[in-house]
Amino acid sequence: MKPMMIIQEYDQLKALSDPFRVKLMLRLVEQPHTGQQLSEIFDLSRARIHYHLKELEKLGLIEIVRTEEKNGIIQKFYQSVASGFYPDSSLLPHKDEISETKRQMLYGMLDRTMGRLLLAPNEAFEEAGPENPSEWNILATSWEIQATEEHFKWYTKKYFELLKEFQELAKEDKKNTDSKYYYMAGFGFQVDDSEFSKRIEKKDQD
């Protein structure tokens, strides 16, 4: 699986703007699944799941990575061809479709994050030091900043540089029996106005 696939075809763009197909793709980014497994996950008929899988395969967004025989039936395991997708500049005439595709992909990631959150073990939320973020056992924050697009892109670049550094450290942690799995998700996007600026800060009574 490659890190990023540049979407160059309009049909691929439309496929990734479909809410259900985004959910399907996110599962196949995580690990390979059969049609039967996905049918059970989403509580949908195998026929409907296979229809979507065939369409995504035809568009080059997923592929069969292995097959297994079970009770005389060949099971096909599908996986996403990339960890992420981004529209090519050649698709810019379709600005509305690009916006909707990005919106649905972010919404699908958020929905998947909520699912993982609900299934996380209780120990993930045990009490930790409230004052110092470095002592927290969870990462949860939301805020708004007024900035130029240039500075937002600077922050995004730094964010991914830090994530890459963390991934390099984590490679060594695989050998450590005390290591745990952590689910990471990050979001950032432009909004029309600030809700945070409407807060009324209590003045110090000195």
Q: Which pLDDT belongs to residue 155?
A: 96
Q: What is the DSSP letter of 33?
A: B
Residue ranges of domains in the chain? 2-119+140-173
Q: What contacts 141, CB < 8 A, 6 or more positions away?
A: none
Q: Which pLDDT belongs to residue 202?
A: 59
C-alpha–C-alpha distance, residues 106 and 165, integer Å: 24
Topology of the domain covering 2-119+140-173 = Arc Repressor Mutant, subunit A (1.10.10)
Say if residues 28 and 78 touch (Cβ distance below 8 Å): yes
pLDDT band at residue 197, thresholds of 50, 70 and 90? Answer: confident
Q: Which pLDDT belongs to residue 203?
A: 55
Of residues 57, 93, 99, the one with CA closest to residue 77: 57
**Residue 26 exposed, middle or buried by CB count within 10 Å (0-12, 13-18, 19+):** middle
Give the residue-averaged pLDDT of 146-153.
Answer: 96
Give the residue-averaged pLDDT of 88-115.
Answer: 93
pLDDT in tens, 117-129: 999 999 888 876 6
87 by DSSP, 3-state: which? strand
Given a cut of 80, whether residue 199 has pLDDT beyond it is: no
Mean pLDDT, the chain, rounded, equals 91
Give the residue-averaged pLDDT of 13-35.
Answer: 95
pLDDT band at residue 200, thresholds of 50, 70 and 90? Answer: low
C-alpha–C-alpha distance, residues 142 and 140, integer Å: 7
Which structure tokens are listed for 201? 């800060």
Q: Which pLDDT belongs to residue 68?
A: 93
Q: What is the pTM of this model?
A: 0.82
Neighbours of 59 (CB within 10 A): 17
pLDDT in tens, 37-94: 999 999 999 999 999 999 999 999 999 999 999 888 899 999 999 999 999 989 989 9
Of residues 12, 32, 8, the one with CA closest to residue 22: 12
C-alpha–C-alpha distance, residues 20 and 156, integer Å: 28
Pairing of strands 82-87, 2-7: parallel
